């Protein structure tokens, strides 16, 4: 409960969904959802065993993003924030948003170590350095 399920449509029924689409979208979900998950989710114990950056399952309809726990379903405000952040990740994907490898590694490290301050700094970097690409 609390995982994010995303479905994709393809132009031709029965067409295969390229796995690289899912992987790229998960990287963007880590940025737009995962960083704030660390900041707002009080349960850092969970991340020690479960919910690391990039955690997802392939699904026939798309993917299940497994990094966030269910903390966000407890509040209408957090549900709205999650909705907005998932949509930002989708918009970034649809607009071919690309981040450099170093930034991606920093995002992964900040999420996996539950480093709240690093997550805040990365979000500021995203806002300032990547804003023109969003």
Instruction: Break the chain into its structural domains and give their ranges.
Output: 4-133
Does residue 134 carry a pLDDT above 60? no
Looking at residue 103, its pLDDT comes to 93
Q: Give pTM, 2 decimals.
A: 0.88
Spatial separation of the C-alpha atoms in residues 89 and 97, rounded to whole Å: 9
Tell me the per-residue pLDDT of 76-99, one tens digit each, with 9 for 90 and over.
999 999 999 999 999 999 998 888
- Give me the residues paired with residue 58 across strands: 63
Cite the beta strand spans of 14-102 per DSSP E.
56-59, 62-65
pLDDT digits (tens, 9 = 90+) for 13-62: 656 677 788 899 999 999 999 999 999 887 878 777 778 999 999 888 88
DSSP-based three-state secondary structure for 21: helix
**Token pair of 106, please?**
């920093």
At 14, list the tokens. 């029965």
Six-digit token string for 26: 């998960």
How many Å separate Cα 34 from the centre of its chain? 5
């Amino acid at each position: 409960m609390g995982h994010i399920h995303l479905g994709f449509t393809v132009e031709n029924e029965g067409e295969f969904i390229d796995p690289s689409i899912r992987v790229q979208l998960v990287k963007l979900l880590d940025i737009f959802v995962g960083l704030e998950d660390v900041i707002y989710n009080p349960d850092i114990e969970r991340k020690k065993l479960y919910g690391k950056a990039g955690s997802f399952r392939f699904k026939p309809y798309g993917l299940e993003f497994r990094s966030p726990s269910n903390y966000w379903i407890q509040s209408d405000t957090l549900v709205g924030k999650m909705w907005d952040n998932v949509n930002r990740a989708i918009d970034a994907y649809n607009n071919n948003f690309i981040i450099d490898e170093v930034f991606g590694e920093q995002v992964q490290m900040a999420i996996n170590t539950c480093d709240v301050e690093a997550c805040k700094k990365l979000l500021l970097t995203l806002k300032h350095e990547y804003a023109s690409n969003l």
